[in-house]
Amino acid sequence: MASPLNHPQRFALNYELHARPPDAINIPERASYLALATDPANRQAEYECIVELCTRYGVASPAPDLNHFQVDLGAFRLKWERHTECNTYTFFRQGEFDDPFAETAIASVPPDWLESLPGQVLVAAHVALRGATRRAPNIEELTTSFEGNPLNGSRVGDGVANVVADFRIHADGFSRFLIDDVSLTPRQTGRLVQRLLDIETYLMRALLTLPLARASMPTLVDADQRLAALINEMAEVKREDEPALLDRLTRLAAIVESTISSTLYRICAARAYKELLERRLAELREVRLEGLPTLREFVERRLLPAMNNCETVARLQESLSGRISRASELLRTRVDITLQQQNQAIMNTTARRAKLQLHLQQTVEGLSVAAISYYVVGLIGYVAKGFKATGAAINPDVVTGVAIPIVAIVAALGVRHIRRVVQREAM
């Protein structure tokens, strides 16, 4: 059927709608999960690792542009996902077990292949899924599976399963989740596993901001103290010292802006991960298991203080930036006023000099008129004497006397005309 042209992003956006589909998991099942922090430059190496594993087990490799991939390799199943800041690998293994964490799913994965994976481990977790017994879960028995660590747990999905976790890294480098099935369907099981793994991953991603926030706090506290001292100096600073004070304030602003630029991305990311984490916890629909704090209680008790620390740093950065900006504007206004006063004084001096030059010019013009008149009248006197010598009835003295006012007037008008012409050309 003929149809209009597709938008260039239509299929890519539809692909995003169906990204990260949950697996249909049949209990009993074990899963091992790795979230590796990677650099975008390693994307080709990540893809090559997936291709190498598929080749080793004789299955088709994924297309290079895919961001998630699932495959059954016989001994285990692999689910690979590419995210903005990390890649995740989830290994599944079907079958009965007695000890939930004695033999894990990742034990079936070739060790040399695992060692070749690019990136650094941010999250590693084992998940064990088993059928629930009719009796209530025994806390002491559960503690044994978690090496005696304090536990957190709840009934999730309005009672379709029991979840227990300790959120601790064990000797093998993995944390642990134990899920007891009550009435889960395979799709519900897949979604539950994905949510639990998302919770730990988003928790760690959000906490990545905490060390950065702590490291920047001393710099911000020092900047706050220096700013307070500079503001106190502004009240008593002399005019000639204002430019130096403005330079110090500008340098302090550069330090604060540098701190903001180095932490802003991570603080924004932490806020986004916190929101996602709260959403995943809400989706669990937890009901308390007797004797255990819920997963939400653990996350909120541990995450909220860290996030409050990060938000404190963000607010301090914003406050410092605004205060420095206001202080700079105030000091710059004072410096501008001082410069304007200096410029006004210079202009007044220039005006006085121009007035003096005008008076001097007028004096020089008067002298010029007198000199010109003197020489011209002298020439006229010589001419009159010459005519008298030829016998003409001319009195040189009378001619000279009559010529003086005429020559003076003509000379003055000529000098005035020349000055006007020069002024017109200068304009």
- DSSP for 141-196? HHHHHTTT---EEEEETTTTEEEEE-----TTS-EEEEEEESS--HHHHHHHHHHH
Averaged over 112-136, what is the pLDDT? 87
H/E stretch holding 208 reads: none
pLDDT for position 396: 75
369 and 300 in a common domain: no
Q: Is the pLDDT of residue 318 over 80?
A: yes
Averaged over 275-283, what is the pLDDT? 94
Q: What is the number of structural domains in the chain?
A: 3
Helices of type H across 237-294 = 242-284
Residue 71 in domain: yes
Phi (first) and psi of residue 24, to 5 degrees: -90, 115
pTM of the predicted structure, to 2 decimals: 0.76
314 and 358 in a common domain: no
Residue 198 in domain: no
Which of 4-8, 101-105, 230-234, 411-415 reaches the highest mean pLDDT?
101-105
**At 289, which CATH number?**
1.20.58
Stretch among 186-195, 207-216, 320-329, 367-376 having the lowest mean pLDDT: 367-376
Residue 405 in domain: yes
Burial (0-12, 13-18, 19+ Cβ within 10 Å), 79 = buried
Residue 195 in domain: no
Which of 344, 365, 391 lies at the terminal end of a domain, its last residue?
344
300 and 156 in a common domain: no
**How much of the chain, in percent, has pLDDT values that exceed 90?**
48
Per the CB < 8 A criterion, the answer to whether 271 and 209 are in contact is no
pLDDT category of residue 115 using cuts at 50, 70 and 90? very high
pLDDT in tens, 51-93: 999 999 999 998 888 888 899 999 999 999 988 888 999 999 9
| Closest of 275, 268, 266 to residue 299, by C-alpha | 275
213 and 167 in a common domain: no
pLDDT in tens, 197-250: 999 999 999 999 999 999 999 999 999 999 988 888 887 777 777 788 888 888
pLDDT for position 392: 75
275 and 221 in a common domain: yes
Which of 123-137, 228-242, 281-295, 384-398 reaches the highest mean pLDDT?
281-295
357 and 331 in a common domain: no
378 and 301 in a common domain: no
Q: Is the pLDDT of residue 379 over 70?
A: yes
Q: Is the pLDDT of residue 385 over 80?
A: no
Strands 120-131 and 175-181: parallel
Residue 20 in domain: yes
Residue 192 in domain: no
Q: Is the pLDDT of residue 296 over 90?
A: yes
Domain that holds residue 129: 16-186
Residue 370 in domain: yes
| Closest of 225, 236, 240, 246 to residue 327, by C-alpha | 246
Rg (CA), the chain: 45
Residue 199 in domain: no
